[in-house]
Structure 1
Amino acid sequence: MEIRNKLRNPLIAVILILLIAIIAILATVGIWKFRSKPAERVIVQKEYLKSEQEPRDVCESPECITLAHQLLNWRDKNVDPCDNFYRASCGNYIEHNMVDGTRNTKKGRVVKRLIKEFLVQNHTSESKSEYTMKLLYQKCEALRNQTIFELTHDSTMKEVLNEILSLGPWPMIDKKWKASKFDLNAMLSNMAKLGHLDFGLFEVQLLHGKVLGVNVNYESVHNGEHKMHEIISAILTANNIIFNSTKIDKSITEVYEFYEELKKNNTRFDKLREFAPNIQFEKILKNLIHPQTGDWTKLKSKIEHGDKIFNRFNGNKDVKNETLSRILSNWLVLKFIENSYSTISWKASVAHDRACDDVVFHTLPRATLRAFVRNHFDRKNLKIVSEMLEETRKTYLEIIANTTWLSDEGKRRASLKMSTMKKLIGYPEEYDEEGKLDSTFGTLHVTESDSLYSIMKKIKRYRTELLMDFVAFELSLDPTRELMEVNAFYASYMNQMSIMIPFIDQPNMDPSFPAYAKYALTGNILGHEMGHSIDPAGIEWNEEGHYEKWMPKEDVKLYEERIQCLRDQYDNYDDPDFGKNLDSSRVINEIVADRHGIDATFHTYRRLNITNDPKMIGFEDVPSERMIYHVMALDYCAPRSVSTLEYTLQHTNHPTNSFRVNGIFSNLKSFAEAFNCPVGSPMNPEKKCELLVEK
C-alpha cells in the first residue's frame, strides 16, 4: 500500500518514465552496435575467399621490397630506355639518396656502422678476437678525452723512447755516441723483431703470388721535417731529456739530404751495396717469423731472388765512416718513427682526430670479419654465390669453345685457365668451423694495462707473423687484404677469384631474390672479375699464376682488333660529366672485363632456363630478360661526379658509371631485343663491339 502511494507521486512517476526511456535507448544502441560488427561468418567467408584467390607470383620479402623501391623510384620514366638507359634507370637517384657514390658505397658505410655498434656494446666475450677489438677501440676512444690524454701522454712517450733505444744507440740524443757503437745489422734485426717491413734501406713486400720481395726503392717521399721534429721533441720532453732544437733539426735535415741524394743515384742494390756491403739479410729476416710456429726454410724459398741478394751482400766490410754511421743510425730511427706515425699520439689533436672504428676496421680485418659474420651475415649466401660462380664458369667454357676466331691452342689455354681458377668466397671454408678464425689470434696477447701504443705495437708484430706464415705455408687468407670491402677481386698472380663478405650481403645478395636479380647484382660482378683472367693483362699470366704470354700471337692480334673497338667507343663516348674527353688507356682492362662479364651473366641466366622466377612489385608484367638489365643498372647509379677531368683521367681505373651502362649495354643484341630498340637508336647501334660472344 505504501509503494502504491509513492507511485502516485508525480515526481517519482516522471523519474521512472525517464529511467525506462534511458534503458530503452541504451538497449537500442547496443543492438545497433552489435549488428554493425562483422559477424564471425563474414570472417570465415573472407578466409574462404582468400583461399580461392590465386597466389601472387611476386617476391614480397623485405629485401625484395627494398629492391623494388629502388627500381621504381630511381628511374626516370620520361626517358626512353633505347635512348639513354642510364638516365632511364638512374635519373632520379639523387632525389632518394644522401650518399655520394653507389649502392655499394652506402653498403660500406653501413658495415662500418654495424661494426661500431658492436664495438660500443658493453658485454663480455670469451672470444680473443672480440676482446682485442673492443680493447683497442676503448683505448683509442679514451685518448680522445683531454684529461686521459694528459694523464697517459708521458708514459706513452716513454714507451716509444724505450722502443727506439731497443734498436740501438741513437746519436741524435747520445752525446757520447761513437761510430764504434753502430751495428747496422743489429739495428735492422731489432726493427724486424718489432714487426717492421720498411727498413729505410730496403723494404720487404708481398709480391705476385705467395712470394716475398726484398726491394730497394728510394722514390718515396718522406713526411716532412717539421712533423718529425715535432714528434721527436714530444718524445724527448716527456722523458725529461734536455735537447738542442737546432741540433735536432740539423740531424733530421742531414738524414733527408742523404736520402734525396740516394734518389738521384737510384741503381737499386748497387748503391746500397756501395755503402753497406755487409747487410746480413738472412739474419735480419729470420726475425720476422714467429720463433715457435714460423718456418724459415720454407719462407726463405719463397723470397724472390733470395739467394742472389743474400750472396751479393756477403762482404766483410762494416760501416766505419763516422758521418755515414751517424746518418744511417739516425735514419733507421726516423724510419721507425715514420712507420709508427699512426700509433704515436704525440699531441692531443692526433688522438682526438683518430677515427677509432676505422683503426679497428683496418688494423684487425680478421676480427672484424668474424664479428660481422657472426652478427649480421646470412651464411646461406656463401653456398648460393659459390654455385653461381660455378655456373658462370661453365658458361665461360662454353663461350670460349664456341668462339670462331680463337685458335684451338688459344681455346685450350683460355679454357685451362678458366677451369683451374681458384675461388675464395668470403673466407676459406676451414674458417667456417666454430672457433677456427678466432684461433688465429693465439699468438696475440693484449691486456687491460696496455696502452694504445702498446696494443698497436703488438698487433703490428702479429700481422707481420701472419704474413710470413701466409707466404711460407701457402695459406689461403691474405693478411694484407682488406676483408671488409664491398667488392670482389681477381688476382692474376694466383689465378684466384675473391669475393668479400660484405659484397655478398644486402643489397647485392639475398636468398629471397629472384634468380635474375641474383645474377644481375652478384652474378655480373662474378662474371666481370672472371673476365679479368682474359683481359689484356690477364693473358700475360697463366693458369698457375706465373707470368707467361700464353695466348698465341695470331690470336692476340685478332683479340687486340676487337678490343680496339671498345677503346674507340670509350674515347668517343659523350659522357654527361666529362663530354667526349675520356681516355681508355687507363681503364681498358675494366671495360674488357665488363664486356666479358655481362655476356657471361646473361648467357648463364638464359642457360639455366628458369621459368618460375617471381616478379618484382611494380614490374609484374615485365619479362625476366628485361628485368635483368633493369636490376643490373642499379649498381652504377650515383650522383654526378665532382672530380675534375684531369683527376679522373690520371687516377681512375674504371670507366664512368654512365658508360658502364650505356656504352656496354649498347653492344648487346640481347638488350636491344629485350627493349625492342630500333636499329640505329643510341642503345642499338648498327656497329657493336664484340669479344668472345658473336652475333
Structure 2
Amino acid sequence: MSKIEIISKNSFVTVIIILAVPIIVILPLVLLLEAGKIGGEVSENCSNHSTSSASPKPKPMCLTPECITLVHQLLNFQDPSVDPCENFYQAACGKYNEHNVIDGSRTAQKQQIVKRLIRDFLHKNQSSTSKSENSMKLLYEKCKEAKTIKVLGNQNLLQEIFMNIQKIGSWPVLDENWDGKKFNLNEMLLSLIRLGVSNFGFFEIIISSDAFVEIKPARNFPTRENLSDIISKVFLGNGFQPNITAIENDLREYENLQRELKSLERLIQTTPNRSLVNYLIFNYLKSVMLEYKRLPEEQCEGVVIDFLPRASTRVFVQNFLDKENRKYVAGMIEDVKMGFIDMIQESTWLNEESKKVAVQKVKNIKSMIGYPDFFEPPGTLDRSFKDLNIEQTDSYHTIVRKIQKFTNEQCMEFVASEIPLDPRQPILHANAFYQNTNFLAILAPVLDDPIFDTTFPRYVNLAVIGNVLAHEIGHAFDHTGINYDDAGQQRIWLTPEDSEEYGKRLRCLLRQHDEYDDPDFGRNLNGSKTLHEISADRFGVEAAWRTFKKLDLSNESEIVGFQNFNIDQLYFRTAALIWCRQRDTTDLQYALQREHPTNNFRVNGIYANMPQFAETFNCPLGSPMNPKKKCDLF
C-alpha cells in the first residue's frame, strides 16, 4: 500500500469523524426536545381530568444535568395508568421502586450520598493542619480497626474497660473489703461524667433546644443481655476469677432496680449501696457493648458523622457545597413567610389579636441556612477543638470516650451561650427542623440536588425545598408550637374561643389520619403520635401553594418534556417526588411509634384537603382526592 493511499484513507476517516461528531452531540438533544412533546402527551394522559395550556411564546429550556435528572424522575417515577384523582401518590410515585435500590425517599438517598462524600474525603491521604479534620480521620481509622476485633476476646480492650471501671469507683464483686458506708453517689456520678457518660441508667442529662440543662428519666434502659458474659470476660482478661453466684445475684438486683426507677428519689434512699454501685457499673458495661454492637452494621463514615457532626459539616460545606445556595434559600424563606402571613390574615376564625401575634411570630423567626455563620471565619471551629486530644496510640474505645467527654463539655458551653450550636445536634443530615425558640434550621445537605438546585426553575425549587421550609415553619403553629410566642417564650396567646376552634380543627385532621386506609398498614395508624407532623404538613402545603401562586412565571425556564404541561399540575407532581419511596415493610408495632406519618398519607391524605389540588386536576367532588369533608387549620 502506497503512502498516498494511506493518507487518503486516513483523510476519509477524518472527514467521517468531523461529520459524525456534531451528529452525535446534536442527536441526543434533538431526541430530548422531541421527547418533550412525547413527555407532554404522556403527562397529559396521566389523568382524564387534566388540562393543558400552551405557552404564548417560546421560553428558555432548562438543560442542566440537574434538570435532565428531574425530567427522568418525573417521567419514570410516575404510573400513567393511575388517575391522580383516585390515588395521586401512586400516579406520581408508582414506579419509583423500578428505578431505585436504596430504601426510603430521595432524602434517604441524599443521606447515603453525603456519607459517601465524607468517606471519600476520609480516604484521601492528604495531610491537614486542621485539628477537626485530623480528629475525623483518626476516628475513622480506629473505627475500621475496631470492626475487625472480637470485643470479648480482645485482651487490650478488656484491660481498658477494667481500668475505666476502677476510675468509676470500687466494685463490690472485686473488693472483698468493700464498705457500703463509704459509698458516695455524687463522686461516682462525677467519675462517670469524666468518662463522657451522660446516660447513667437512673437518669440522663439532656440539653434542650432552648439551651437548658434537663435531667430526665433515662431512655432505652439497658437489658441484661450478654452482661454476665462480658463481666466474666473482664474478670478473666485482668487475672481475676469471677464469682458467678455473686455476679448472678447482683444482676438480679440490677433488673429489679430497673423496674423500680419510676420513683427515683425514694428508690435511691431505700436501695442498698451495693446495688447502686453495681447498677452504675453494669450500665457502663452495657454502653460499651452497645458501642461495639453497632459497628458491624454501621459504616464508619456514619460513625464519624454521628460523633463529630460539626466537623463533618464543615468538611461537606468546604468541599461539596456551593455557598451561593444559602443566599437563594434565604430569599425563599422570606417568600414562604409571606405565604404564611397571607394565610393567617385571611383566616376566617382567628381573632384579630391572635392574628397579630401569629404574624409577628412568623416575622421574627430566626434561621440557620446550611450551617451557622460561626463556621465562616477560618480556624474558628478548630479552635473549639483545642480541648479534644486524641492520639494515634488510642484505641477506638478510648477515642469514643474522649469525644463523648469533649461533647459534654461543649454542651455546657452551648448552655452558657459561648458557642451557637448544640454540639450533639445531627446537622449533617438531609433534613430541616424548627425549634420552639422560634428558630428554623435548614441543614446543608438539603441545599443540594436532588432537593434543591439553583439551575431549577423557581417553581420547581418552591415545590420541593419550598414545601420543606413551609412544613418546618408550620411547626410554629402545631399543637406544641402554638403555645410559644414570637420570642420563643411559652405563653398561651390564643383567645379561649380561638383555642377551642383550633382544637376542633386539629381533631378533624386527627380523625382523618386514623381513618386513613394506608396501603402498607391499613387503618391501623396512630394520629396522636404524628399530630404535630401532619398539622405542620397541612399548614405547610397551604403556605407553599400561596407562595407559588405569587410567582411571576413569564420568564421562568421550562422543563424538557413538560413544555405543554399545566404548570399547576407540574407543581404538585414535583412536590410529590420528595415523598416517593419503596413499599414500607416496617413492622406495624414499630411504625405505630414513629412521629412521622407514612409518605403515602403525606401526599394523598394532605393534598386531599386542598381545594386547589382538586381544582388543578378537575377531580370530581366525592373522589378520593376531593372528599366532601376536608380539614383546614387557619
Matched, 1:333 2:281: yes
Alignment partner, residue 57 of structure 1: 60
1:150: Cα distance to partner?
9.5
1:30: Cα distance to partner?
11
Alignment partner, residue 307 of structure 1: none
1:515-543 CA-partner distances (Å, limit 9, x unpaired):
01111110101101111111222212223
Relative distance call for 1:617 and 1:446 in structure 2 (3 A) is same
1:631: Cα distance to partner?
0.3
1:144-223 matched pairs, under 5 angstroms: 144-145=147-148, 153-207=154-208, 209-215=210-216, 217=217, 221-223=221-223
Asked if 1 retains the 8 angstrom alpha-carbon contact of 2:59 and 2:556, the reply is no
Relative distance call for 1:172 and 1:486 in structure 2 (3 A) is same
Question: Structure 1 stretches of 5 or more lacking a match?
Answer: 1-18, 277-323
Matched, 1:359 2:289: no
Q: Distance in 2 between matches of 1:137 and 1:154?
A: 22
1:637: Cα distance to partner?
1.3
Asked if 2 retains the 8 angstrom alpha-carbon contact of 1:169 and 1:181, the reply is no
Asked if 2 retains the 8 angstrom alpha-carbon contact of 1:218 and 1:259, the reply is no
Relative distance call for 1:150 and 1:90 in structure 2 (3 A) is closer
Aligned match of 1:78 in 81, 92, 100? Answer: 81
1:522-601 matched pairs, under 5 angstroms: 522-601=465-544
Relative distance call for 1:69 and 1:450 in structure 2 (3 A) is same
1:19-34 matched pairs, under 5 angstroms: none
Aligned match of 1:667 in 593, 602, 609? Answer: 609
1:344-365 CA-partner distances (Å, limit 9, x unpaired):
x6xxx88766642332121111
Alignment partner, residue 269 of structure 1: 265
1:471: Cα distance to partner?
0.9
1:138-175 CA-partner distances (Å, limit 9, x unpaired):
112123345xx799932332222222112222221012
Asked if 1 retains the 8 angstrom alpha-carbon contact of 2:521 and 2:588, the reply is yes
1:134: Cα distance to partner?
1.1
Q: Distance in 2 between matches of 1:351 and 1:398?
A: 50
TM-score (norm 1): 0.79
Matched, 1:368 2:312: yes
1:270: Cα distance to partner?
4.2
Alignment partner, residue 610 of structure 1: 553
1:611-656 CA-partner distances (Å, limit 9, x unpaired):
21111111011243222111001111122222354543x2132233
Asked if 2 retains the 8 angstrom alpha-carbon contact of 1:427 and 1:477, the reply is no
The one-letter code sitting in structure 1 at the alignment partner of 2:86 is: D
1:446-504 CA-partner distances (Å, limit 9, x unpaired):
11111212111110110000111111226431122211221111122x22111221122
The one-letter code sitting in structure 1 at the alignment partner of 2:120 is: E
1:594: Cα distance to partner?
1.2
Relative distance call for 1:204 and 1:681 in structure 2 (3 A) is closer
> More displaced, 472-481 or 122-131?
472-481
Alignment partner, residue 251 of structure 1: 250
Q: Distance in 1 between matches of 2:172 and 2:248?
A: 13
1:60-116 CA-partner distances (Å, limit 9, x unpaired):
111111111000111112222233222211121111111221111111122222222
Asked if 2 retains the 8 angstrom alpha-carbon contact of 1:80 and 1:88, the reply is yes
1:283-312 CA-partner distances (Å, limit 9, x unpaired):
xxxxxxxxxxxxxxxxxxxxxxxxxxxxxx
The one-letter code sitting in structure 1 at the alignment partner of 2:597 is: P
Relative distance call for 1:240 and 1:602 in structure 2 (3 A) is same
Matched, 1:459 2:403: yes
Alignment partner, residue 501 of structure 1: 444
Q: Distance in 2 between matches of 1:23 and 1:271?
A: 101
Aligned match of 1:125 in 114, 119, 128? Answer: 128
Relative distance call for 1:624 and 1:436 in structure 2 (3 A) is farther
Alignment partner, residue 364 of structure 2: 420
Q: Distance in 1 between matches of 2:94 and 2:460?
A: 20
1:565: Cα distance to partner?
3.3
TM-score (norm 2): 0.87
> More displaced, 440-449 or 240-249?
240-249
1:599: Cα distance to partner?
1.2
The one-letter code sitting in structure 2 at the alignment partner of 1:334 is: F
Alignment partner, residue 655 of structure 1: 597
Q: Distance in 2 between matches of 1:586 and 1:268?
A: 27
The one-letter code sitting in structure 2 at the alignment partner of 1:627 is: L
> More displaced, 459-468 or 396-405?
396-405
> More displaced, 327-336 or 363-372?
327-336
Matched position secondary structure for 2:512: helix
1:600: Cα distance to partner?
0.9
1:272-311 matched pairs, under 5 angstroms: 272=268, 274-275=269-270
Matched position secondary structure for 2:205: strand
1:301-341 CA-partner distances (Å, limit 9, x unpaired):
xxxxxxxxxxxxxxxxxxxxxxx232223333223323433
Aligned match of 1:96 in 95, 99, 109? Answer: 99
Q: Distance in 2 between matches of 1:389 and 1:199?
A: 41
Aligned match of 2:431 in 469, 487, 504? Answer: 487
Q: Distance in 1 between matches of 2:10 and 2:447?
A: 59
Matched position secondary structure for 1:340: helix
Relative distance call for 1:181 and 1:422 in structure 2 (3 A) is same
The share of aligned pairs that are identical, in percent, is: 37
Q: Distance in 1 between matches of 2:318 and 2:330?
A: 20
The one-letter code sitting in structure 2 at the alignment partner of 1:472 is: A
> More displaced, 24-33 or 137-146?
24-33
Alignment partner, residue 434 of structure 1: 378
Matched position secondary structure for 1:608: coil
Q: Which has the larger radius of gyration?
A: 1
Relative distance call for 1:68 and 1:176 in structure 2 (3 A) is same
Relative distance call for 1:199 and 1:684 in structure 2 (3 A) is closer
Asked if 2 retains the 8 angstrom alpha-carbon contact of 1:210 and 1:474, the reply is no
Relative distance call for 1:396 and 1:218 in structure 2 (3 A) is closer
Aligned match of 2:110 in 89, 107, 111? Answer: 107
Q: Distance in 2 between matches of 1:446 and 1:380?
A: 35
Relative distance call for 1:28 and 1:352 in structure 2 (3 A) is closer
Relative distance call for 1:336 and 1:666 in structure 2 (3 A) is closer
The one-letter code sitting in structure 1 at the alignment partner of 2:275 is: I
Asked if 2 retains the 8 angstrom alpha-carbon contact of 1:194 and 1:461, the reply is yes
Structure with the larger RCO, 1 or 2 (CA within 8 Å, 6+ apart): 2
The one-letter code sitting in structure 1 at the alignment partner of 2:130 is: S
Q: Considering only aligned residues, what root-mean-square deviation do their CA atoms show, in Å? A: 3.3
Question: Structure 2 stretches of 5 or more lacking a match?
Answer: 34-56
Relative distance call for 1:83 and 1:168 in structure 2 (3 A) is closer
1:204: Cα distance to partner?
2.1
Alignment partner, residue 634 of structure 1: 577
Relative distance call for 1:65 and 1:353 in structure 2 (3 A) is closer
Q: Distance in 2 between matches of 1:33 and 1:202?
A: 79
> More displaced, 368-377 or 243-252?
243-252
Matched, 1:517 2:466: no
Aligned match of 2:142 in 114, 139, 143? Answer: 139
1:189: Cα distance to partner?
2.2
1:531-563 CA-partner distances (Å, limit 9, x unpaired):
111122221222333332221110122223333
The one-letter code sitting in structure 1 at the alignment partner of 2:197 is: H
Relative distance call for 1:357 and 1:65 in structure 2 (3 A) is same
Asked if 1 retains the 8 angstrom alpha-carbon contact of 2:136 and 2:304, the reply is yes
Matched, 1:384 2:328: yes
Asked if 2 retains the 8 angstrom alpha-carbon contact of 1:489 and 1:498, the reply is yes
